Chains A and B, each alone.
Chain A
């Protein structure tokens, strides 16, 4: 795609967002909604900027990010490992596949009360929930990528002298990286969503908690702030992942 097309796309894409913000501003200015319910965008963004400078809010962001990263990392390590093993060994696959089919459609947030009972109301229960939710897309895409590796790649490596036990690590894993990263992207979005929700349901800190607290005190402005924050966080993290992806996949043809 040439530069002109990209810029026109971006410009076009900003339009609905800009329109929405303009609409927001219009509704607020014309008084169609009381300030307590729908504060004008200017106010919200000012409050956001204000909050970002306070250490309290930074602490909330840190708490959310910590749980997000920890849960996501666990999901990546477990998901990739199990996915690779299931692709490599029919025996493991036979055990893993039905379990995944049963657990995957299960709304894991339903497990949250149980996690609270077992692990307490602190970080652990939220991290576990995030990991449990982010695990499945990563596992499945790893399995999918690993089982689709071109047979001739494996044969070429074997003929070059690679012993069988090293094939998984030296050929299958690198060849599956594009698929794994796609799963990671989904897993990352899920992690953002889940950590926020878990904090909303029960927590003593974190962005979700900020939202709920603001709701209880009917502070509309303070309710918008964490929402916008998590949205921005999601975008930034996604952007980082894309950068990592571009680097790791520099040799792979565009899919």
Chain B
């Protein structure tokens, strides 16, 4: 039997959600303006969005682009980060470049990229790719750097080549940190996706949001916010589960989901 205390702490996030929705509801009722519908009104608008075929396709397309951009970024960034972590030369080479591009919001590159590549999927996926790469490279770098030299010496003594050591020692040892980077990257992917769609209004969730804003369909605006919020929370929770499975052996990392924008 679960003790009441454990029950409360497990359901605390859910309670927090309900609490926040409750505050929203009350605030909306108090303010009583058109532009701030109550939580219930917004929630009621959700099925109509998800039910509308057009919107649903839009949203799914967004998610697909996000997935591709994210995966590509991960595949490229992890090896790069690991190499930076173990080789000072490689690190010195790439570090300043990364530091300079860090404050540039990748979604802001949308207009330029659109100029070059047109308005297709590739532009959006490229932006997501760029946005996700940075945190994954950084965390892979940190994780690889922290791997104890002595572990690698043991590996070398056992006859492992440099590449084998990278794959079989550095990668697993750095995995917790890498996954933290991926988690940040995932949040960034979602944000970059939404933002780039808000900027390059064309299709996707961000577009739906601003269309509804322009057309005065305020319920839809807030409903869409809830949907996007739920996507963010859902993806994050799913990732945490996956992370727990993959790195059961490491101490629970402090949950700092460094969300950007």
Q: Do A and B come from one complex?
A: yes
Q: Which of chain B's residues has its CB closest to A129's CB? A: B261
Q: Bound complex: CA of A81 vs CA of B256, how far in Å? A: 18
Q: Bound complex: CA of A223 vs CA of B12, how far in Å? A: 46
Chain A residues closer than 8 Å to B16, beta-carbon distance: 98-99, 101-102
Q: Bound complex: CA of A118 vs CA of B35, how far in Å? A: 7
CB of A194 within 8 A of CB of B259, answer no
**A111 within 8 Å of B by Cβ?**
yes
| With contact pairs A211-B111, A231-B104 given, residues A104 and B259 touching in the complex (Cβ less than 8 Å) | yes
Q: Bound complex: CA of A117 vs CA of B225, how far in Å? A: 13
**B195 within 8 Å of A by Cβ?**
yes
CB of A106 within 8 A of CB of B229, answer yes
Chain B residues closer than 8 Å to A118, beta-carbon distance: 35-36
Chain A residues closer than 8 Å to B120, beta-carbon distance: none
The majority secondary structure among interface residues of chain B is: helix
- A209 smallest CB distance to B (angstroms): 12
The majority secondary structure among interface residues of chain A is: helix
Q: Bound complex: CA of A93 vs CA of B109, how far in Å? A: 39
Interface range, B side: 35 or more
A-B contact count (CB 8 A): 182
Q: Bound complex: CA of A231 vs CA of B109, how far in Å? A: 12
Chain A residues closer than 8 Å to B218, beta-carbon distance: 117
**A56 within 8 Å of B by Cβ?**
no
Q: Bound complex: CA of A84 vs CA of B212, how far in Å? A: 40
CB of A106 within 8 A of CB of B103, answer no
CB of B261 within 8 A of CB of A133, answer yes
- Cβ 8 A contact of B92, one of A12, A94, A107, A196: A12
Chain A residues closer than 8 Å to B132, beta-carbon distance: none
**A86 within 8 Å of B by Cβ?**
no
Chain B contacts with A in 215-240, Cβ cutoff 8 A: 218, 221-222, 224-225, 228-229, 232-233, 235-237
**A72 within 8 Å of B by Cβ?**
no
Q: Bound complex: CA of A130 vs CA of B237, how far in Å? A: 24
CB of B103 within 8 A of CB of A189, answer yes
- B92 smallest CB distance to A (angstroms): 4
- B105 smallest CB distance to A (angstroms): 4
- B194 smallest CB distance to A (angstroms): 6
CB of B233 within 8 A of CB of A231, answer no
Chain A residues closer than 8 Å to B112, beta-carbon distance: 215, 220, 223-224, 227
Q: Bound complex: CA of A110 vs CA of B166, how far in Å? A: 40
Stretch at the interface among B93-101, B145-153, B171-179: B93-101
- Please, how many residues of chain A have a CB less than 8 angstroms from a CB on the other chain? 66
Chain A residues closer than 8 Å to B40, beta-carbon distance: none
**A108 within 8 Å of B by Cβ?**
yes
CB of B191 within 8 A of CB of A215, answer no
Contact bitstring A112-123, B, C-beta under 8 A = 1, else 0: 111011100000
CB of B108 within 8 A of CB of A109, answer no
Chain B residues closer than 8 Å to A107, beta-carbon distance: 187, 190-191, 194, 228-229, 232, 259, 261
- A197 smallest CB distance to B (angstroms): 5
- A199 smallest CB distance to B (angstroms): 9
- A11 smallest CB distance to B (angstroms): 9
- Cβ 8 A contact of B259, one of A108, A114, A196: A108
Q: Which of chain B's residues has its CB closest to A102's CB? A: B16
**B170 within 8 Å of A by Cβ?**
no
**B157 within 8 Å of A by Cβ?**
no
CB of A105 within 8 A of CB of B259, answer yes
Contact bitstring B1-38, A, C-beta under 8 A = 1, else 0: 00000000000110111011000000000000001100
**B255 within 8 Å of A by Cβ?**
yes
CB of A113 within 8 A of CB of B17, answer no
**B116 within 8 Å of A by Cβ?**
yes
**B254 within 8 Å of A by Cβ?**
yes
Contact bitstring A169-195, B, C-beta under 8 A = 1, else 0: 000000000000000001001101110
Q: What 8 pairs between A and B have smallest CB-CB spacing?
A: A234-B103, A215-B111, A13-B96, A105-B236, A98-B16, A98-B12, A117-B35, A110-B228
Binding site for B on A (CB under 8 A): 8-10, 12-17, 20, 33, 37-38, 94, 97-99, 101-114, 116-118, 133, 136-137, 140-141, 144, 186, 189-190, 192-194, 196-197, 200-201, 208, 211-212, 214-215, 218, 220, 223-224, 227, 230-231, 233-235, 238
